[in-house]
Chains A and B, each alone.
Chain A
Amino acid sequence: MVSVQFRTLLIVSAILRVVLILYGEWQDAHMEVRYTDIDYMVFSDAASLMMSGKSPFERSTYRYSPLLAFLLIPNSILHRSWGKFIFSAADLLVGLLIRMILKLRGVPEKLSMISVIVWLFNPFTFTIGTRGNCEPIVCALVLWVFICLMNGRVLQAAFWYGLVVHFRIYPIIYALPILVILDPHVFQPGQKPRLQYWNRWQESPQSSSATRLAQLLCPWFLLKSALTRERILFSFISAVVFFLFTGLFYHLYGWDFLYEALLYHLTRTDPRHNFSIYFYHIYLQYHRKLSILEKLVSFLPQLIVQVVLVLSFAKDLPFCCLVQTVAFVAFNKVMTAQYFVWFFCLLPLVLAWSNMKLKWKGVSCIALWVGGQLHWLLWGYMLEFKGQNVFLQLWMASIIFLAANTYVLVSIIRDHRFSPVFAPLEKTSKDSKKLK
């Protein structure tokens, strides 16, 4: 299953990460600016609180599931870098899972190696794990859900999906495409679903959006197609798992857990500067309460984009999730660099189906996206470290970054060869009747 070339790739990536973790330890001890992310300190403190029998939420700004603090308990026992090793291991696991998914879909070796390299040697991703951010674990869980679905294990997929939504709320946006993909023509009891293999040229046919929209709006059709066995099972099991975890930790840690780990993320409006276009608007309006209409209006672009993307691309699950995540991050009220990992782990899954050439379309996308960030960071530096009032310029920079994100998203959509993950299973009994 694992070729020699891939093994070498994994080993080199592992060495790179170990070197970075060691370097991070050195930089923390000898330089003013730390390599380690401030969040990692929060996790470690919460873990040591948990070890001494207290609630991890006593540590201010700890806003994650208690499971994360539990994972980091060896930070106090073994070494403070234990967590970084765990996150980097999850990072490598994501590389392995990407390759598994590509192999399952029949992508040729060379293309799958390139795709895995895009993850393993992406500077955003290897710094995230080695700096002590927990996002690689979430990415690994999401990819595992995909693999379970591709292997036809709906119950397992539902379990892991419930767990990942408990851990980090954003994967809830994948609920709709997953439910769409649990088509009764694809998932039949007792049979593994049939995967559609990678194809160099041909695009797969699908009904036009107009027909799909019409089908969706007809309530009878919606009801009949929604309440299928697999869909009900998946929704039920993942909801049960989610509420089980929530209930358990509520019982153990009370209201603190519910507020910090769940409600805070749903109602978060941070007026401090970040990539999101909404930050200055939130700061200027912070002193007054926003009306319901204003809140709805600010949510409208996000809603429109998510619904249209799901309607258009649900059957090509990895692609749908990728574009949904990019759009979700771009239109969110708060946007920080660690959220980029959420879609970087899905990008390698769709590269094999992209018509985009690196020269010059690909390079222009990368350049605009990175350039938009650097431009924003320049103004951010002026504000935060030089103390100059550049709020207006910083806000314009975030609008420009949104434009760059839109350009990249539009390019990716235009150059993508739509190909559903699953093919409908043949109805063998009916066919044999016809033959007779």
Chain B
Amino acid sequence: MRSESSMKVETMKARTSQPSATVAFSNSFLLGFVLVFSSAIGFCTLSSAHYSTLQAGTSDSNYDGGGSNISAFSRFNRYIMQSYYEKYENLFDSDFQDFVAQELPFGLCEVLPHDLSFVVRPSILHRNLIGRGSHRHLTSSIRVNIKPEPIYELPTHHCELIIIERLPSGVFADPFELQHLLQRGAYNAIAVFGDANLELPSFLSNRTAVEVHMDIGHNFLLRHDKESNINIELPLHARYPPLDESGYWEVKFGMPDLFMRCSMEGTSQNQSCLYKMPEINGSELGYANLVWKIPSGMKAHAGIVSTLTFVAALISAIAIAATSIFHSGVASGKHLKES
């Protein structure tokens, strides 16, 4: 009995000496964590305090004191769609057409021509939806012509073409992907407006619009009989569409809305002129029917899918439960037999 107890003491000693390294590790881990944690809390508190002052700051700058007659809205928006969303909540075609007809200030420039619709002609060379699955690219090739008519002396100016794609319901563009494109230098500016929540199915989300700004050139309006070709490629993604009997949901694309913004060299963008380009009739060119067929669930499947899903889950659960109970019961039985 004495030898047993001395063995026990020895093994106890062995066990206590072994984990000293783990104790040291544990203590340094804890210390490191406390340091990181306290700096995290300090940082978060500082940043959130800053955040609340920023919030107050931005709301002040929205207020515009003057009642200027010239501009229709209180501050200049780089993006047309931004002005649209200031007035309307959701994107509807009728609202957008009203907005373009009434709200936008067109041709409010002193020096540059007021109306370019007889001078500048856009046309679509081709328009396509490349790809086969839920992720496709909408490519458009647009040619902008200056008709050979005399234009008066114009100061040095710079123009950019603004293309607004009002995406149909069920298709969206990822703003972060577009940012990535922007960084690669493809466009002057690009922005997505509307619902960009990637996870919602289409019947729970609103339409989105993509606005692209592309440089069309220096002193563009003076270049008679010259054309500028613009190529755009937008990566688009499909949402889960509503259920359909046929198994596919068709999404139709309309034509893009084109605008041109010209500003004189040396002035800020505030003093630029915005022109609306004439409508392009897609049906003449056969582009009215750009269709994307998105696979959708079929209502007919609902009953059998739900039933079989639950049956499968239940069977698996019972199999696992039975094995656990049986196995742990058998184990103690075996041990008893051996002893």
Contact = CB atoms under 8 A, between A and B. Distances in A.
Is B a genuine binding partner of A? yes
Given A151-B19, A208-B329, A402 B312 contact: yes
B328 A391 contact: no
Contact of A387 (B1, B54, B133): B133
Interface residues of B, number: 73
Interface residues of A, number: 87
A119 interface: no
A389 interface: yes
Contacts of B44: 50, 66, 70, 248-249, 252
B297 A284 contact: yes
Given A53-B51, A203-B331, A301-B316, 17 more contacts: A50-B44, A53-B50, A73-B43, A151-B26, A153-B26, A202-B335, A209-B324, A253-B48, A284-B301, A304-B321, A309-B320, A331-B316, A384-B133, A385-B132, A389-B248, A413-B320, A418-B328
A60 interface: yes
B254 interface: no
Interface of A: 1, 41, 45, 50-51, 53-55, 60-61, 66-67, 70, 73, 100, 104, 144, 147-148, 151, 153, 156, 192, 202-210, 248-249, 252-253, 270-272, 277-278, 280-281, 283-287, 297-298, 300-302, 304-305, 308-309, 311-313, 323, 327, 330-331, 383-392, 395, 399, 402-403, 405-406, 409-410, 413-414, 416, 418, 435
Contacts of B295: 383, 387-391
B26 A53 contact: no
Contacts of A395: 305, 309
Contact of B305 (A284, A327, A387, A414): A284
Nearest to A51: B47
B294 A55 contact: no
Nearest to B136: A387
Q: Which of B51, B135, B240 has the most CB of A within 10 A?
A: B51
B198 A285 contact: no
B59 to A, nearest CB: 15
Contact of B240 (A271, A416, A418): A271
B309 A206 contact: no
B323 A414 contact: yes
Contacts of A330: 316
A67 B329 CA distance: 44
B177 to A, nearest CB: 10
A297 B310 contact: yes
Interface string B30-57: 1000000000110111111011001000
Nearest to B198: A61
